[in-house]
Amino acid sequence: MASFKITGDRRLKGEIVPQGAKNEALQIICAVLLTKEPVTIHNIPNIRDVNQLINLLGDLGVRRTRLSETSIRFEADDINLDYLESDSFRQKAAALRGSVMLLGPMLARFRKGRIPRPGGDKIGRRRLDTHFLGFEKLGAEFSYDEEDGGFYRVDAANLKGTYMLLDEASVTGTANVLMAAVMAEGTTTIYNAACEPYLQQLCKMLNRMGAKISGIASNMLIVEGVSELKGTEHTMLPDMIEIGSFIGLAAMTQSEITIKDCQIPELGIIPDVFKRLGIQMEFRGDDIFIPAQERYRIENYLDGSTLSVADAPWPGFTPDLLSIVLVTATQAQGTVLIHQKMFESRLFFVDKLIEMGAQIILCDPHRATVIGHNRETQLRGIRMTSPDIRAGVALLIAAMSAKGVSIIDNIEQIDRGYQNIDTRLNAIGAEIVRL
């Protein structure tokens, strides 16, 4: 298990380029299974979860040609379905939550699939009902056998388009069902669909491949099934979660940072939420400039009541940035209630922030009240463990703003979602040593 040793209380200055979007990558890369023709993908992030998925596709028989550091051409013309029965597949797919999105393309093209119960972050229950209920609506039949190593087996010999109302606006659930529906017979209507930019990107890519999807960017997708798809070329968006993390990092460390090539129109309300924390920023073309701020003040509502920041399906605020908002608020002037609605264990890292000196009241598994220090008391360095990707980066931000030295263990969780985060931050003035 690797660790970061962070020397805090350093101001950063310079430019940083966000990586390709992790959550988009997991969907887009699975979609290469839908066609025999080559699919070229650009701006692929070099992170553990994505690399594991690419390697898993290679084990399935997908040929991969690296064109540059961030571009790969995939060719899925000779897939070895027998590999799905192997212990190697079970072990590798179970370690990666994104592997569940292999099912939709496999059902569409091969009319069958097999997947173990996926792994991923330990942030509470992350049910797969939306995926399987959607597949069932399309005519698939599935079974789960605990004695068979915990495998889900799905038979989709007769995929037919239908109307479905998803039980939740799940991003991965929508993507998975959508990829199955593009080659189902007839028309499929997916209502209560997620409409995050990741999903919009997937829809646009599939349409370039020959799919017929309308309603993109809305919560109702209409899919006319086609018999086959062709190859395409696709460039992924910059990672909005990394962009939000850098905004919070700049404020906490009183740093002057320019975040390059952000594709600002795709960020939704993310910049506005950080502005409500009092963080100044300037849009310079497609770059976001964060000036060094001695202090930032949390806004109240118009009636004077305490600000609340909660996650919601897009175009609401993404749950992946609530940990960053929470840690950023610890040095603001004012109070904010953080309401994490989706996952009941995602706020449990706040005990480490409290140990560092933050003033946080954990109200229940979903809500925490942060009383900002207004820079009057500095956090202090401690030893801690990263429980998941986003909490790990929140703790890293806290450590970089703290007085003294901090150690963060289990940084493999951070590496799952952030590409070479230590070397990139060190290049603009941080002091992070990988142990």
Other CB atoms within 10 A of residue 410 CB: 17
> Which member of 59, 82, 121, 239 is catalytic?
121
Q: Is 148 among the residues known to form the active site?
A: no
CA dihedral 388, 391, 397, 402 (to 10 degrees): -110
57, 35 in Cβ contact below 8 A? Answer: no
The answer for residues whose C-beta is within 8 angstroms of residue 330's C-beta and 6 or more apart is 252, 353, 358, 359, 360, 370, 372, 373, 379, 398
**Residue 22 marked as a ligand binder:** yes
Q: Can you tell me the distance from the alpha carbon of 242 to that of 263, in angstroms, rounded to the nearest whole number?
A: 13
Return the DSSP state at 305.
P
The residue type found at 248 is G
Residue 342 assigned to a binding site: yes
How far apart are alpha carbons 399 and 256 in whole angstroms?
Answer: 18
**Tokens at residue 283, please?**
């849009």
Give the position of tokens 């799940």.
Answer: 170
Euclidean distance between CA atoms 53 and 55, whole angstroms:
5
- Which residues on neighbouring strands pair with residue 256, listed in sequence order? 13
Residue 23 annotated as binding site: yes
Minimal CA–CA distance to 202: which of 318, 49, 29?
29
Q: How far is CA 369 from the centre of its chain?
A: 24
Give CA–CA dist 248/12, Å, rounded.
Answer: 13
Q: For residue 212, how many other CB atoms are within 10 A of its CB?
A: 13
Q: Give CB contacts under 8 A, 24+ apart, made by 58-65.
A: 59/83, 59/88, 59/89, 59/92, 60/33, 60/84, 60/89, 62/32, 62/33
* Omega before residue 387 within 30° of 0, cis: no
Separation CA 398–CA 335 (nearest Å): 17
**Triad 391, 196, 117: Cα angle to 5°:** 60
SS (H, E, C) 247-288: HHHHHHCCCEEEECCCCHHHHCCHHHHHHHCCCCCEEECCEE
Q: Which residues does the annotation place in the binding site for UDP-N-acetyl-alpha-D-glucosamine?
A: 97, 320, 342
Which active-site residues does the annotation give?
121
Q: Which residues does the annotation place in the binding site for phosphoenolpyruvate?
A: 22-23
